[in-house]
Homo-oligomer: A and B are copies of this chain.
Amino acid sequence: MSTTQKKRIAFLGAGNVAWHMAPALAAAGHEVTAIYSRSAASRETLARLLPQAQPLATPDLRTAEVDVVIISVPDAALANVAAALQVAPGTLVVHTSGSQPLTLLQPVQGARTGVLYPLQTFSKTKPVGLAEVPLLVEALDEDTLQQVEALAKSISRQVYSVKPEARKQLHLAAVFACNFTNHLLGISRQLLQEAHLPVALLQPLLQETIAKAAQQHPFAVQTGPAVRGDENVLQAHLHMLQQHPRYQELYRQLSRSIQATAGQTGSEATEG
């Protein structure tokens, strides 16, 4: 992380992203001066954690002496929040969305606009060290990009400038690797609980699966009954899932996709 050029920063949104990013920016020497959220409880709770921050009930920052506005609201709310936001000319306004275009910030009059997308999953209940979280940055011109990069580098060692299309594709890849994987882990945990098995049992297997995927292409090290073409086991598993038709359908689809991929890449059926 680079030495910090101190900025005065306002957040629009007091959700999970703001909850982790605002304290990290304050710890890096910036001044988080304002937290706007429609929810009075949310803006007040987060503002209380940041000694210099005021909770704001309206996104009007024209006279607020703010250098940077970070919009971290749900994707679906981003357009409306951008349309309501008012800033002094030259203010840097960034959003933190992985999937939304920079152009959504065009309605913010007089602003320089950019994207600062943290590639991480945040919950309020679990601390996350931002220093190793990849931050993807984007802007329309080189000068603005440097400003966004400087801000990003003040809290993370992993800052990448990406093209809009690449950021969207990265977000899509993250949905598969994180959101969908999490759902499968939830199903797996439910199955363990139904058999009164300790949920920690699968942890070493999971760690190894992730570690292996970092070293080799997962398609090349695929294991399990689907890639082995073990039809008896596939049928037995589908039978065991008959109380869970949704999981049964996922099992069928994922197994088919594994088999089709093995056909394409020539992965060997291996014991696992």
Contacts and interface: CB of A to CB of B under 8 A. Distances in A.
Contacts of A195: 165-166, 169-170, 173
Interface residues on A, range: 35 or more
Given A74-B228, A177-B206, A205-B178, A183 B237 contact: no
A267 to B, nearest CB: 9
Interface string A183-225: 1111111111011110011111111111011111111011111
A202 to B, nearest CB: 5
Given A76-B232, A134-B204, A207-B210, A177 B188 contact: yes
Contact of A182 (B119, B207, B223): B223
A140 interface: no
A142 interface: no
A103 interface: no
Copies in the complex: 2
Contact of A178 (B76, B187, B223, B260): B223
Interface stretch (A55-63, A84-92, A146-154, A250-258): A250-258
B241 A172 contact: yes
A181 interface: yes
Given A170-B197, A260-B246, A182 B121 contact: no
A181 B194 contact: no
Given A204-B120, A241-B172, A179 B258 contact: yes
A82 interface: no
A230 interface: yes
A155 to B, nearest CB: 14
A72 interface: yes
Interface in A155-183: 158, 160, 162, 165-166, 168-170, 172-183
A189 B215 CA distance: 12
Given A75-B225, A180-B258, A181-B185, 13 more contacts: A16-B270, A76-B229, A121-B221, A122-B272, A165-B195, A169-B240, A177-B184, A180-B251, A180-B254, A182-B212, A186-B219, A206-B213, A250-B254
